[in-house]
Amino acid sequence: MNLASDFEPEVHLFTDGACSGNPGPGGWAFVMRHLASGKEMESSGFEPDTTNNRMELSAVIEGLSALKRPCKVEVFTDSVYVGKGLTEWMPKWKMNQWRRRERGAWKPVKNEELWRRLDEVVSRHQVKYTRVAGHSGHPENERCDELAVAAYQNRR
């Protein structure tokens, strides 16, 4: 994994996931901004039966996958699940063959296929994680939430 903490980002990636019910129909979204040019891109998607955590992961995966070359990326998300996964849990899971300890027993990592995919796309870039407070007026986070909710409401 290629997580860094000290670099000047080239790209800001804002992400969010949303679900109506958990599980239920869900949407993911990202807004990406190239800092030097100010150029922006946004995208969103829908899953008919999913969870909020899966949508949060999908938003980051889709955003990083949209980059055409290796970049220095600062990922902004309100998901503690994604943030802790990137910075704390994933390195341990990888060392333990994608298993986690629960009550003294080894258990499979939940959403393993998405965590593996995230690990793969993160490895192409230098990634810095920054947590933002959800629903706090952060413009890009609010836009991502709007796009993610629209994705599952419109089912596209």
Question: Catalytic annotation on 16?
Answer: yes
Which among 17, 27, 45, 83 is annotated as catalytic? 17
Question: Catalytic annotation on 125?
Answer: no
Which among 10, 12, 16, 62 is annotated as catalytic? 16
Question: Catalytic annotation on 42?
Answer: no
Which among 10, 119, 140, 145 is annotated as catalytic? 145
Question: Catalytic annotation on 119?
Answer: no
Question: Catalytic annotation on 104?
Answer: no
Residue pair 140/13 in contact (Cβ under 8 Å)? The answer is no
The single-letter code of the amino acid at 58 is: S
Which among 21, 49, 112, 135 is annotated as catalytic? 135
H helix count then E strand count, the chain: 5, 7
DSSP 1-69: --B-SSS--SEEEEEEEEESSSSEEEEEEEEEEETTT--EEEEEEEEEEE-HHHHHHHHHHHHHHT-SS
Tally Cβ neighbours within 10 Å of residue 14.
Answer: 27
Which among 10, 62, 78, 140 is annotated as catalytic? 78
Radius of gyration, CA atoms only, the chain? 15
Residue pair 29/144 in contact (Cβ under 8 Å)? The answer is yes
Question: Catalytic annotation on 145?
Answer: yes
Which among 56, 62, 74, 140 is annotated as catalytic? 56
Residues with a catalytic annotation lie at: 16-17, 56, 78, 135, 145
